[in-house]
Amino acid sequence: MQNHDESVSELNRRTFLHSAVSGVAIGIAARVGIELGVPTMLEAQTNLSPDAALKELLAGNERFAANRLTSVEHDLEVLKEHTADKQQPFAAVLACADSRVPVELIFDQTIGHIFVARVAGNMVTPEIIATLEYGVAVLGVKVLLVLGHTNCGAVKAAMKSDTVPGQISVLYKHLRPAVEKSGGSLDKAISLNAEHQAELLRTSSTVVRDALKGGKVKVVSGVYDLASGEVTVK
């Protein structure tokens, strides 16, 4: 926190100097607003409630789906500078490795805002649990979202259970519980899998369990629709 406060005042100072040097009085407020928009958001992250963190994610997805992205307007240089030594993401997302699910983009977020773990079929493994536990216990993310997506190749492959090269079939066993309950529906298997993996996180991680008990985090599952760009959460 202290570092953060320092960085805010440093930014204030630099903003002031920059404004003073450039001698442009008009626009100072705007510039301060723009430049301070970043640390203000970072500061807010630590204060967000789990519900507010989820709301923030979903609001970003609404902007994305409506083609009204705002994250691209952030000054990347300022962002990099202020996230080089630390990170304060407000959310963690476990998503599929699918190239059509660029997590930061679909939630209209930029550097330092989301802690992302990706693996085919967005499944919970010991390594993924360890990764997300770091997000919760060390970084203090307020919401954990397990995100499946329509037309997921991993789930589709697990449903067919065909012979596949290399170690690809290792994925199947993680996806089987959802596939078995899906009644042969791919959409249902995808949604059930996200729910199943979220439940695994809630129950098999002591860190997540304790954070849930203390009201410090929220674990939700959702599905991203490749066609509409919309995320639906449960």
Cα 84 from Cα 90, distance rounded (Å): 17
Could you please report the per-residue DSSP string of 103-114? HHHHTT--TTSE
Query: Judged by CB under 5 A, which stretch of 34-42, 146-154, 172-180, 194-202 contacts Zn ion?
Result: 146-154
Instruction: Identify which of residues 35 and 98 has a Cβ nearer to Zn ion in the complex.
Output: 98
Instruction: Identify which of residues 45 and 182 has a Cβ nearer to Zn ion in the complex.
Output: 182
Q: How far is the CB of 157 from Zn ion (least distance, A)?
A: 10
Non-local (6+) Cβ contacts of 195 within 8 A are 146, 178, 221, 234
Query: Judged by CB under 5 A, which stretch of 21-29, 37-45, 103-111, 150-158 contacts Zn ion?
Result: 150-158
Instruction: Identify which of residues 46 and 228 has a Cβ nearer to Zn ion in the complex.
Output: 228
Q: Is the dihedral of CA 146, 150, 156, 157 positive or negative?
A: negative
Q: How far is the CB of 121 from Zn ion (least distance, A)?
A: 6
40, 47, 69 from 35: Cα distances, Å: 9, 20, 18
Q: How far is the CB of 232 from Zn ion (least distance, A)?
A: 16
Q: How far is the CB of 125 from Zn ion (least distance, A)?
A: 15
The closest of 103, 92, 115, 118 to 60, measured between CA atoms, is: 103
96 binds Zn ion (CB under 5 A): yes
Non-local (6+) Cβ contacts of 169 within 8 A are 163
Q: How far is the CB of 162 from Zn ion (least distance, A)?
A: 16
Q: How far is the CB of 95 from Zn ion (least distance, A)?
A: 8
Q: How far is the CB of 41 from Zn ion (least distance, A)?
A: 30
4, 64, 134 from 113: Cα distances, Å: 15, 16, 15
Instruction: Identify which of residues 123 and 212 has a Cβ nearer to Zn ion in the complex.
Output: 123
Name the percent of the chain in helix, strand, coil, to the closest 5: 55, 10, 30
Instruction: Identify which of residues 41 and 158 has a Cβ nearer to Zn ion in the complex.
Output: 158
132 binds Zn ion (CB under 5 A): no
Phi, psi at 231, each rounded to 5°: -100, 130
Instruction: Identify which of residues 152 and 178 has a Cβ nearer to Zn ion in the complex.
Output: 152
98 binds Zn ion (CB under 5 A): yes
Q: Which of 53, 146, 152, 208 binds Zn ion (CB under 5 A)?
A: 152
Instruction: Indicate the SS3 state at residue 55.
Output: helix
Q: Which residue has the tokens 């996180």?
A: 201
Instruction: Identify which of residues 152 and 208 has a Cβ nearer to Zn ion in the complex.
Output: 152
* Contact footprint for Zn ion (CB under 5 A): 96, 98, 152, 154
